[in-house]
Amino acid sequence: MISFLSKVLFTSVAVLVATYILSGVHVNSTATAILVAVVLGLLNTFVKPILIILTIPFTILTLGLFLLVINVLIIKWTSELVPGFRVDGWWSALFFSIIVSLVSSFIEGLVRNNEA
């Protein structure tokens, strides 16, 4: 449970950082960022694996680049599901997913190094 909560916290911070960096992504509040983190976590856990399995031929043909399209779809679906979260276009969604991944990984690495 603590692992889930820490992951949501790290992703929430990453969402806020990405919102600050990108002009095409808008989050109304910190509570909205937390809700975005929860919805992203749920979609990545339950929907993304199904999409990956269904699109294996495209992923192989594009040497894995189609996974970026799946990430954009997950971000766009999150913006449809969470009120107060808006992503203006596909490029904004792509850069948002990259920034969120990098920032949350960086924060997790910092926390793990401090625990050891």
For 19-37, the pLDDT digits (tens) are 999 999 999 999 999 999 9
Average pLDDT, the chain: 94
For 39-69, the pLDDT digits (tens) are 999 999 999 999 999 999 999 999 999 999 9
| Residue 26 falls in which region: left (phi positive, over 0), alpha (psi -120 to 50) or beta | beta
φ and ψ at 102, to 5 degrees?
-65, -45
Measure the CA–CA gap between 116 and 20, rounded to whole angstroms.
31
Number of neighbouring beta carbons within 10 Å of residue 52: 13
Please state the rounded mean pLDDT for residues 72-87. Answer: 97
